[in-house]
Amino acid sequence: MRFLVQRVSRASVAVDGETVSSFEGPGLLVFCGVAPRDTAAQAEKLCAKLLKLRIFEDAAGAMNRSVADVGGSAIVVSQFTLYADLSHGNRPGFSNAARPETAEPLYMRCVELLRAALGAERVGTGRFGASMQVSLLNDGPCTILMESEAAEDAR
């Protein structure tokens, strides 16, 4: 499992011109990719690490606070393209990404875990499988790739 995490000042997701999630203020935009062999245990561990990720500044200006510490929000967007394979040319292949019937429950498990920790009103989503327009104001910029052990071992 992979999370591409961006520290943002605001973010929104629209589907077919309709905004389905948005927030203003400090928070995270989390793109979530799932591999075929990923498990719920891996999702839980990665979400726990995300919740402890200290990428927000403290009073001294050091990255020392988590999204929960700053009262921040999050939007989690499913993104199978995090598993793009470019080893055979310039057109990406996606055989390393989980099929929707595997990916969606794990993606939703991540959303549930974050909602339980931060509050349901502070965690939004995109729409699984939809073409989405994602807007954000990256703060820093600060972008971090997080992977479960299985993803790291596959490299």
Catalytic site residue from 3, 23, 56, 80: 80
Distance, CA of 128 to chain centre: 13
| 80 catalytic residue (yes or no) | yes
| 42 catalytic residue (yes or no) | no
| 19 catalytic residue (yes or no) | no
Catalytic site residue from 23, 42, 56, 79: 79
Catalytic site residue from 19, 81, 94, 133: 81
**Number of C-beta neighbours around residue 74 at 10 A:** 25
Q: Which residues are catalytic?
A: 79-81
